[in-house]
Amino acid sequence: MSAFFDGKTILITGGTGSFGRMFTSLLLKESNPESIRIFSRGEYLQWEMEQLFDDERLRFFIGDVRDKDRLYRASADADIIVHAAALKQVPAAEYNPIEAIKTNIDGASNVIDAAIDNEVQRVMAISTDKAVHPVNLYGATKMVAEKLFVQGNSYAGARNTRFACTRYGNVVGSRGSIIPLFLKQKENGILTITDQRMTRFWLTLEQGAEFVMKCIELMKGGEIFIPKIPSMRIIDLAKTIAPDAKLKDIGIRPGEKLHEVLITEDEARHARDFGRYYVIEPELKYWQETPINGGKKLPDGFRYTSDMNKDWISSDDLQRMINI
């Protein structure tokens, strides 16, 4: 149980998505917020979520992060913003690049402006491993969004608004992840593999939401928080989900990496190890704030990558994670 969120008003952009639903569920279960504002574009998904939770503390705002005026209205008198809204499908972003920029970059800028002008105390942006050494437009927009949120603290200046990011890997079972695809392909007995060498970081929706909650409490402003999470080879993932299925190699797709990176060697120079997570601190800091206490410096040349990870998911662990 966390008393930090008690009595707080929390705005979640992209609140009807997989993360938003889980984060809302944890807030209601583990704390007693004054209200939770769900900000998203789709009225039907909001109606579904309203029926699912049936809690008078939830407020539903139809809106788009591209619409600054609507964001200003939604964030008025809010204490915390969790920014999860994004266009995140890699092929869709490649085919609609300007739309991805409007949502993922311009939308991030709008959230920052609304938070500062409405004196929101804490803003946490949800990022992705694809923002590191990006090879597709989605990753590039999230890299820019990270920079905007870190340096958003310099725009806030002496005001109380502070910004930080959480960056983590693939979420088991989220919309658009490979696991629902494999479960569907299992019915036909053929699973498509892009490259048998491929590895990915994995965590559950609940783990991701719990990590974000913890980081909101810890943040001072400007940090990028990274959880220590396990990796798994895609081929092992496929064999766990459908051990009797045939595997069909289709080749790596455009904009896809063999392995993902959560911390680069350059970032490691200004990052610290806190045991169960890492914190990347801002290199350029134009605001005064005491760093989070503790942590160990990372060794020279340190990289946190899915293929060189020390922690790997077993087949039994994965089966428990996805309930198969």
pLDDT at 178: 85
Which pLDDT belongs to residue 316? 87
Place of tokens 């005001």: 159
pLDDT of residue 1: 62
Give residues with Cβ within 8 angstroms of 181, minimum separation 6. none
Listed in sequence order, the DSSP H helices in the chain are 18-30, 43-53, 68-75, 90-95, 97-101, 107-117, 137-156, 178-185, 205-218, 234-241, 265-268, 315-322
Digits of tens for pLDDT over the chain (324 positions)? 679 999 999 999 999 999 999 999 999 999 999 999 999 999 999 999 999 999 999 999 999 999 999 999 999 999 999 999 999 999 999 999 999 999 999 999 999 999 999 999 999 999 999 999 999 999 999 999 999 999 999 999 889 999 999 999 989 867 767 888 898 999 999 999 999 999 999 999 999 999 999 999 999 999 999 999 999 999 999 999 999 999 999 998 888 899 999 999 999 999 999 999 999 999 988 897 889 999 999 999 999 999 999 999 988 888 888 775
Task: Please tell me the total number of residues recorded for the chain in this structure.
Answer: 324
**List of domains in the chain:** 9-169+203-228+262-299 (3.40.50.720)
The residues assigned a catalytic role are 130
Q: DSSP code of 236?
A: H
pLDDT the model gives residue 142: 98
- Is residue 167 within 8 A of residue 131, CB to CB? The reply is yes
What is the reported pLDDT for 174? 73
Strands 224-227 and 246-249: unpaired
For 169, 187, 242, 251, 278, the CA distances from 258, given in Å and listed in that order, are: 14, 27, 22, 11, 23
Q: What residues pair up with 128 in beta bridges, in sequence order?
A: 168
How many CA atoms lie less than 13 Å away from 142 in the CB half-sphere? 29
Beta-carbon contacts of residue 251 (< 8 Å; ≥ 6 apart): 194, 195
SS3 label, residue 80: strand
**Residue carrying structure tokens 């896809």:** 256
